Amino acid sequence: MSENLYIHELALVAAILLTSISQTLLRAGARSKSGSVEIIFNPATMAGYLLFFMVIVLAIFALQAMDLKTVMAWNAATYILTPIISFLFIREPLDRRITAGSAIIVIGLLVFNL
């Protein structure tokens, strides 16, 4: 594996992780008991949008050396990470549907990489 591809793969991993963190920040911002304008300008919401911008840059960088199908398949990992990060930091519950869906996504990623 070339070192150049390794850097692009690291960018994809960072994009996936930052997507989950930014979605959690947006959820936290939406939970505030303020009006819609205050929710938009909430520091958590603003940080979430800033991270999404960084995700776009990282994803474009990753796509320069990786196949689109690979990037899109691995983006499904955000559906696993987001509930876990939300549970850990903003105490959102994890129910059976989320657990079952995460298991199906893991199986899909394993099948995709065979």
Q: How confident is the model at residue 1 (pLDDT cuts 50, 70, 90)?
A: low
Give the chain's end-to-end CA distance (angstroms, integer).
18
Residue 7 has pLDDT above 80, yes or no: yes
Q: Structure pTM?
A: 0.87
Q: Which amino acid is at 89?
A: F
19-67 tens-digit pLDDT: 999 999 999 988 876 777 777 788 999 999 999 999 999 999 999 999 9
Q: Residue 88 is encoded by which pair of tokens?
A: 């850990």
Domain that holds residue 63: 3-112
More confident residue, 113 or 96: 96
Q: What is each CA distance from 69 to 20, 30, 31, in whole angstroms?
A: 20, 32, 34
Residue 17 has pLDDT above 90, yes or no: yes
- In the chain, the number of structural domains is 1
Inter-helix orientation angle 78-90/96-112, to 10°: 140
